[in-house]
Amino acid sequence: MPRSGRGSSGTIHTMSERVIPLVDQRHPSLPLPPLSAGHDLSALPLDGLRRPLTDLRISVTDRCNFRCSYCMPKEVFDKDYAYLPHSHLLSFEEITRIARQFVAHGVQKIRLTGGEPLLRKNIEVLIAQLAALRTPEGQALDITLTTNGSLLARKAQALKEAGLQRITVSLDGLDDVIFRQMNDVDFPVQDVLGGIEAAQAAGLSHIKVNMVVKRGTNDHEILPMARHFQGSGVTLRFIEYMDVGATNGWRMDEVLPSAQVISRIQAAMPLVPLAAAAAGETAQRWGYADARGQYDPQLGEVGVISSVSQAFCRDCNRARLSTEGQLYLCLFAVQGHDLRSLLREGASDADIASAIGLIWQQREDRYSELRGLNQLPATEPGKKRVEMSYIGG
């Protein structure tokens, strides 16, 4: 029996009768603000909800060698899928030039992502360029990268030498059968674990492992994962399965709320709540407790990212730069602002900085909060949320 079939109305019906719309997520850009007014860089911009701009996520490729069903389902991202041509991608020099203007506006942390960022050729060259940037106060940036880990064993040393300090590896379970099913390309779990070890050996610090929890698919892997990483120096974080993009066929009944993740771990391994390490942190932290019920730093911690059950939009200080240079203000956005055309039409650094500042000042996004309040506006016909593999996670 075929695994999926294309419907007549631009949809795909999978075996479980999940209906996945066939869409091109790339819509015309939003207009850029008029630049003639200029923008005062002496005051860092706050958005419409008074949130500063401190984090930038940069997607360096829309391609990936995995086909996680919650992100790039095979039925949509098949051999006919139109990925961006190379000329559409921002070059490393373009990325660094735009990043410099974000840093002037208060960005202190940059996360490289994708698609699979380690597929981008010579990614370490970009890391070295970004590592050379300084904040207006002369501080180096906090540079990190999220990867599926498949190429990490090969790349870890070069990434570290280029100036990468931290890394996050996505891993949805330890059971090889489940893991191969979830990446949907039959990739073995042992190779990702080898990548994590290589990252530790290369001296990358604060290594995090992200596990997307899908109820009924890999929630039985929560405890084995917690046991495996306890005391390893690696921080495991559980992410609620999100309704990003328009292709993963998301259903609320497949979301396991973080509170349940914590209570399942608590039942076997005592945890105590920890304070947030930084403002705007997405994860709630829990420390493993010793026999006296006190946090034991040797045992380490876990985190939960509760984007569905407990929105954290009020502290959201993140901007996203897509692979082709579109600035997105929210993970659930439909349209972005085309910074690449500004760049390629000869805009000055001051113009780019001005555009970024003005766009940020107009930002009002709070999708998850509105979802929680049941107040999401209806999506305009023909407009779909951008895919995570394009915008970056």
| Residues of the shown chain interacting with ligand SAM in the complex, contacts defined by CB under 6 A | 64, 70-71, 113-114, 116, 146-148, 170, 210, 212, 239, 241-242, 244, 248, 388-389, 393
Minimum distance between the CB of residue 68 and ligand SF4, rounded to whole angstroms? 3
> What letter represents residue 82's amino acid?
A
- Number of residues forming the site for ligand SF4 (CB under 6 A): 22
- 210 binding ligand SF4? (CB under 6 A): no
Minimum distance between the CB of residue 172 and ligand SF4, rounded to whole angstroms? 9
Minimum distance between the CB of residue 371 and ligand SF4, rounded to whole angstroms? 8
Residue 316 contacts which entry, ligand SF4, ligand SAM, none (Cβ below 5-8 A, type-dependent): ligand SF4
The phi and psi torsions of 235 (rounded to 5 degrees) equal -95, 120
- 235 binding ligand SF4? (CB under 6 A): no
Near ligand SF4 by CB under 6 A, which window of 92-100, 273-281, 308-316, 346-354?
Answer: 308-316
Q: State which of residues 56, 58, 68, 236 lies at the interface with ligand SF4 (CB under 6 A).
A: 68
Distance set, CA 166 to CA 61, 141, 354, 380 (Å): 20, 12, 30, 39
Report d(CA 177, CA 196) in Å as an integer: 19
Residue in 354, 286, 366, 272 with CA at minimum distance from that of residue 318: 366
Minimum distance between the CB of residue 332 and ligand SF4, rounded to whole angstroms? 5
- 64 binding ligand SF4? (CB under 6 A): yes
> What letter represents residue 5's amino acid?
G
Residue in 68, 59, 123, 34 with CA at minimum distance from that of residue 239: 68
- Residue 24: left if φ>0, alpha if ψ -120 to 50, beta else—which one? beta
Asked if residues 198 and 153 have their Cβ atoms less than 8 Å apart, the reply is: yes
Count of C-beta atoms within a 10 Å radius of residue 369: 17
User: Which is closer to ligand SAM, CB of 210 or CB of 354?
Assistant: 210
Minimum distance between the CB of residue 247 and ligand SF4, rounded to whole angstroms? 11
Q: State which of residues 114, 195, 325, 336 lies at the interface with ligand SF4 (CB under 6 A).
A: 114
Label the pairing between strands 318-321 and 326-328. Answer: antiparallel
Q: State which of residues 331, 355, 358, 386 lies at the interface with ligand SF4 (CB under 6 A).
A: 331
- 313 binding ligand SF4? (CB under 6 A): yes
